[in-house]
Every structure is written in C-alpha cells, then in structure tokens.
Structure 1
C-alpha cells in the first residue's frame, strides 16, 4: 500500500500530513507527498504561474522536513482534487485534509476532500482541520448491509495496530419491526466474527442504533480515533458518488474518517 498525501501548505493539509506520517511511522513505511499546481494559475499570466511554481516548491520542502519518514515528492499540474484522486491505485491510501468540521446540516459545494473521496480508486482518509487529541480512543466502523467487509477489515487492522477497542455500529429505523432488528443483530454477529479473523488482539464491541445512519456514526465517533465507512452509493442522484450517508459524514466530520475500498 502506498500512502499518498495531498499537500498545499494549508492547515488542513498539515493535519493530513501529520496523520499520514504517524501511521506510516508505525508501519515502517514512507509516504508520497503530492502537490498539484492548479492550471488556473496559468490563465492569470506567466508571472503568477511562476509564483505558483515557487510556492509549490516551498510547500514540498516544508512538508519533507516535517515528515520524519522516507518521502517521495511529486509536483504536478492540473485540477488538484481530480489529479490527486487519479494517482491512487486500488490498494493505495490517499490522505487529505478538510476544513469542514461541525454540523452543517446541508450540502456544500467545492470541497476537494469530497471530490477525492468520490473519485479515488483506493481508500481515502479525510482528516479534519483541528488536531486530533491524544486522548481519543476506539475505532468505529459503520456496518451497512451489503457493503461492510472491507470497512470492518480495515477497522480491525487499525484497532490491532493502535491497541484501541473496535466498535461496530449498525443502524435501523426507529420504527423498524422486530424482524429488521433480528437481521441487524445477525449482521453484527457476522461482522464481529469477520473482525476476529482480521485481528486476534482487538477487543470488539457492537451495537444497533435507532438513529439516522450519518447522525449515529458521527455521534459514536465524536471521541473516536477513527471512523471507517464503506462508500455506499444508495443516493447517487442526491449526493454524488459516495452515497448520502458518507457524503453527510464528510460534511460534518468530527474525527478522521476513512472511506475503505
């Protein structure tokens, strides 16, 4: 797995770099630093384009010094989100920062992190702007029918790597009949067994929530080290490639989120 970090010198990208290098360090790996110079700078003229080139070199150099792990540096031209997403293979992890924190309750256009998460072939980690407190604990995984195995496997591996508890959350409607609850409990049982196959050390808990999925997962992960979800595509017409639940989570992010593919 290659860890690609999108950097642009902003506070969110520094948070992404810190998260990615911490993970790489614990795995004994390096990272690939990617800075994409927006082609739109060239429209403004040669001098402005040169300033963008110089600024990009500074961003890369600053990130290299801060990384503390082996790095590969890559400077490209193009649309930042689309170019970064296009670099990732199915087994790669792309790490990006986001300034979107807190509960917005609505759609917001133009978030590069959401574009990357929608388009990348591999898994994507979206890291909120604020630094992650060291007191955060647990790895939370959203378990949705039909699309949970990869998310649970990723979460179990992270729980074993970090020594944190693994919490599996499945959501059903508040007025769901008993049969739906029974199905949910069976699904969580399968997910617990699957998690045990991927981590022999992690302590695994599970619970059913009667709240809306995005609200339940955001609430469960408010003090978590990581939230892992699958890129469900149930509402493509309303929320783009990710599905409405994942889209809402990224708009209202409360902790680092991994969309596991």
Structure 2
C-alpha cells in the first residue's frame, strides 16, 4: 500500500490450517477493499509441564508459533504483495486473547473447518466466543470459500425494523465496496399451532405485504445514500435459520447482528446465529450491538430460531 492507512487493521487468527489460510485470504481481500492492512494472530496453548524441561518446551512452542505466522505472511504476500502485514504471537486462552488483541481493530476474521479438526486452535467454540463479545464485526469463513468465487450478492437479515438503521447502513456499505446487490431478508414464523392460526385466518400474502411496507421506508433512506447499490426486499414465511441458510447459497456475505444484554459489550448468540456460523455456505459477518443500536434485536437469535431436524 502507499500512504499509511487510517483504517484500523483487520485481525485474522491463524493456526496453520487450511481453514486459517482461507481466513487470511478473505482478510487480505477485505483489507484491499477498505485500504488497510492485516494483523496475523497466533495463540499458543498455555502449557506448563511438570518436568524441568520447561525452557526447552517454551523454545519449541515459540518456534512452532513463528513458523505458523511466517507461513501466514507468505499467504498474504502471494495474495497481495502490497498489503501491509504484522504478526503477533501470544500464549493463553484463545478467544479472550484474540478479543484483547482486536479491541481496536476494523474486523476479526476466523476460518471454519468442515467438521472440526482434532487439535485445532480456532474451534467452533472460539468462533462463537469471539462473535459474542467482539467490539468490532467478526467474520467466519466457511470451508468451501474461494477468493475468486464472487457472486455479486450480500444478504442482510432483519427482524425488528425499528432497530435496523445502522445494521442496514453497514450492509449497504459492504455491498457498495463489493459492487454487489443487497438482499434485505425478513423471515417470520410463529411457534407451531399459533402459526397455523395465522395461516388459517389471514389472506395469503397479507403479512408479507405488511412487512414489506414496514421495510421499504427504512431501506429507501439508504438507497438514496448508496444509489449504486441494487436492492432486493425479500419477506418469507419460514423459520429464520432455514430462510437465511437458503438465502446464503450463492451469496458473498451474510450479515447478522447479535443481541445486547446489559453492559454494552455483553451479548448472546442464540440458535439462529450459532446455526449460521456453523452451517452457512458463505462467510458470515456478526455485527456487535454498538454497530447498530444500544439494544438492537436484529435477526432472530433466540433458541426457537435454531434449525430443527
């Protein structure tokens, strides 16, 4: 890059796995879009042996961590030789360490293994832990993601229009930087027998039209601010997790927001968010509450939102 960037770095976790390599490539692509660099973070296990060999083991751990980071740097250089890159190695609990190092970052990126890899440093629980407490957006990159697989489509899921303003602003920004179409999805479904009552008493499409009317003025403001972004409104009568998984197929990015609980950085990821972080076929970005509103309720994140067999 040329002049020093004023945008905070993108932090990407690496453990030397193929999942981490995908995360690095995603982070580099995003860094190129927003004009910043990447900071590669490796967290070594906090291991204290009960033998006098502690100094030697520590030396070996440092060598392993250094090798993993240098391999990550090589991935960055191969993807974008002009991308600024820094490396950090720490020892300790993985999620907490990443959160500490990324406190002022632009974005956190972690890779996802297909079925979970024995001995992996960045596990599913790490992803959920980081997504649930990060002070910046966090992206989980799926196992089949490829840097050249551009579909020109970003999906954002909404539940409460009254709290959607800044979430939509984020989604429009992401779509614009990618030159992508933005799909604004609102899925709704009541629990079992209640949903059947609504279906029996309502005219087909009545609820969908009502929700579209609620969404349209919210989206219109951002349309004016981002005239180059093509927008599609989609209201579906379906379990939110299922609807979002379907919409994520062929998307470049799925944008969610987590629910705030109490203090500004205390949050909860429920069934829908966990399901999508685990199963979505495209990268999933989880936006923290402070990016939207103090008590945002973006997507359905309660337990009832998880995909049922």
The TM tier, using the shorter chain, reads 0.7 to 0.9
Whether the 8 Å contact between 1:124 and 1:260 is mirrored in structure 2 is yes
Distance 1:89 1:5 in 2: 13
Q: CA deviation at 1:75?
A: 1.2
Q: Structure 1 residue 55 and structure 2 residue 82: aligned?
A: no
Q: CA deviation at 1:25?
A: 1.4
Q: Secondary structure at the match of 2:48?
A: helix
1:83 maps to which of 97, 100, 125? 97
TM-score for both structures, normalised by structure 2: 0.73
Larger Rg belongs to = 2
Give the direction of change, closer, same or farther, for the CA distance of 1:233–1:100 in structure 2 (3 Å limit): farther
Whether the 8 Å contact between 2:23 and 2:111 is mirrored in structure 1 is yes
Whether the 8 Å contact between 2:184 and 2:233 is mirrored in structure 1 is yes
Q: Secondary structure at the match of 2:138?
A: strand
Q: Residue 252 of structure 1 corresponds to which residue in structure 2?
A: 279
Whether the 8 Å contact between 1:91 and 1:123 is mirrored in structure 2 is no
Distance 2:172 2:28 in 1: 20
Q: Secondary structure at the match of 1:111?
A: helix
Q: Secondary structure at the match of 2:91?
A: strand
Q: Which moved more, 1:181-190 or 1:19-28?
A: 181-190
Whether the 8 Å contact between 1:153 and 1:194 is mirrored in structure 2 is no
Q: Structure 1 residue 112 and structure 2 residue 126: aligned?
A: yes
Q: Residue 165 of structure 2 corresponds to which residue in structure 1?
A: 149
Q: Structure 1 residue 9 and structure 2 residue 23: aligned?
A: no
Q: Structure 1 residue 209 and structure 2 residue 218: aligned?
A: no
Q: CA deviation at 1:188?
A: 1.8
Q: CA deviation at 1:198?
A: 4.5
Tell me the number of residue pairs that the alignment of Structure 1 and Structure 2 aligns. 248
Q: Residue 136 of structure 2 corresponds to which residue in structure 1?
A: 122
Give the direction of change, closer, same or farther, for the CA distance of 1:22–1:197 in structure 2 (3 Å limit): same
Q: Residue 178 of structure 2 corresponds to which residue in structure 1?
A: 162
TM-score for both structures, normalised by structure 1: 0.85
Distance 2:114 2:283 in 1: 12
Give the direction of change, closer, same or farther, for the CA distance of 1:186–1:232 in structure 2 (3 Å limit): farther
Give the direction of change, closer, same or farther, for the CA distance of 1:233–1:242 in structure 2 (3 Å limit): farther
Distance 1:140 1:110 in 2: 22
Q: Which moved more, 1:240-249 or 1:212-221?
A: 240-249
Cα RMSD of the aligned pairs, angstroms, is 2.4
Give the direction of change, closer, same or farther, for the CA distance of 1:147–1:74 in structure 2 (3 Å limit): farther
Superposed CA deviations along residues 11-44 of structure 1, whole A, max 9, x for unmatched, are 11111100010111122211111111121x3347
Q: CA deviation at 1:10?
A: 1.0
2:269 maps to which of 230, 242, 249? 242
Q: CA deviation at 1:65?
A: 2.2
- Unmatched 5+ residue regions in structure 2? 1-7, 116-122, 262-266, 289-309
Q: Residue 104 of structure 1 corresponds to which residue in structure 2?
A: none
Q: Secondary structure at the match of 1:83?
A: helix
Q: Which moved more, 1:82-91 or 1:202-211?
A: 82-91
Superposed CA deviations along residues 182-206 of structure 1, whole A, max 9, x for unmatched, are 5522332133224325522110111
Whether the 8 Å contact between 1:150 and 1:260 is mirrored in structure 2 is no
Distance 1:15 1:164 in 2: 21
